[in-house]
Structure 1
Amino acid sequence: MKKYLLLFVACTAVVFSSCRKIIVSPFNTAKQAIIDDQAIQNYFLLNQITNVTKDPSGLYYHIDTLGTGAHPTSSSSVVINYTTDLLDDSQVESQPSYYFQLSNIDIEAWRIGIPFIAKGGTITLYVPSGLAFGNTGSPDGKIASNTCVIYHITLQGFSN
């Protein structure tokens, strides 16, 4: 009986120690945020970009054109066109007209940044990985895990 109890305890220990490796530690997330912030700041230095604002979320942005009228809210449905670039200035994708409910979009940087502009406005978002695709990468595989991205967005219109 003692053999079986010892075997059970050993197997349980192995299972629990394996599970710990799957859990994403807040420390790792915080560490990645620091790495991302440094990468974005280096991008600014290399490209002599100085006129940016940092949101408390860690998102950097530059309002290129404010647009006119009201701004969308978190419950708005929006139509944007956008391009996605990496910090090496390679373009990953371009979409001429994309419609979605702002509160339902997975890209947190869009939920934060798009309400800063009005219809016709353009904004550049410099996005740490945690506000884009995090440690999983994009579903289509075009953007690797823990990758910072740059979105150039024009707000074509919205409705509440």
Structure 2
Amino acid sequence: MPIEKMDMRRWAVIVLSLVIFGSCKKSNDVATNINKQAAIDDQAIANYIAINKLNAVHVGAPKVDTIGVWYIVEDAGTVPALYSGSSTITVGFTAKILGATQLFATSANAAGVNPSFVLGQTIKGWQLGISAAKINKGGRLRIIMSSRYGYGPYDQSQYGLPANSLLDFDINMYDVTN
């Protein structure tokens, strides 16, 4: 076999190996960073709940696992509701970074019209918290979530949110349709 062909094959194998092993290392670093942030978030939320003596329920309880979403039913509501990923929910809400006083989002508008969302198209923390709490129409719910169930490691400049923000939502459930 001519030397040029052998050298080309060796270079191809070396380049392919670098690509494969380089991507493995990167994916492990990403997974490590995600796990580190999850631990930081969960500890910060647990501390906040304890310091403020909140009666929060961890989604997944009594078997507490890695779900970083807690909820507090402020008012159970009166009209029974059934939730699925395809449910359309009509809500009033406020949103802030956990521990902050300033809101970064609210559903309030001058016309007094409340927004509707398909539950399965909302952020994961809403999907998990609303489904777990099972509040009725007319109920009110507070959801506290880790960054991985909100917007994760991405800045949300339209809301003024830095990456890895812990979120605190107060949600009034006006209607649920399936």
Category of TM-score, reference length = shorter chain: 0.7 to 0.9
Shift of 1:37: 0.8
Give the structure-1-normalised TM-score: 0.83
In structure 2, what is the Cα distance between the partners aligned to 1:64 and 1:31? 32
Aligned to 2:7: 3
Give the structure-2-normalised TM-score: 0.75
Aligned to 2:150: 132
Specify every segment of 5 or more residues in structure 1 that has no aligned partner in the other structure, as ranges: none
Match of 1:121 among 139, 142, 154: 139
> Are 1:66 and 2:99 counterparts?
no
In structure 2, what is the Cα distance between the partners aligned to 1:77 and 1:150? 21
Aligned to 2:63: none
In structure 1, what is the Cα distance between the partners aligned to 2:155 and 2:115? 20
In structure 1, what is the Cα distance between the partners aligned to 2:136 and 2:164? 30
Aligned to 1:16: 20
Whether contact under 8 Å (1:119, 1:157) holds in the other structure is yes
Other structure's SS at 1:156 match: strand
In structure 1, what is the Cα distance between the partners aligned to 2:126 and 2:27? 27
Aligned residues: CA RMSD: 2.4
In structure 1, what is the Cα distance between the partners aligned to 2:95 and 2:40? 20
Aligned to 2:105: 93
Which is higher, the Rg of structure 1 or of structure 2? 2
> Are 1:103 and 2:120 counterparts?
yes
In structure 1, what is the Cα distance between the partners aligned to 2:80 and 2:128? 16
> Are 1:32 and 2:37 counterparts?
yes
Q: Deviation per CA, 1:38-63: give whole Å up to 9, x if none.
A: 111222244x2331111113311111
Letter in 1 for 2:23: C
Whether contact under 8 Å (2:156, 2:163) holds in the other structure is yes
Other structure's SS at 2:14 match: helix
> Are 1:82 and 2:93 counterparts?
yes
Q: Which runs of 4+ in 1 moved over 4 A?
A: 24-27
Specify every segment of 5 or more residues in structure 2 that has no aligned partner in the other structure, as ranges: 61-66, 109-113
Identity of aligned residues (%): 25
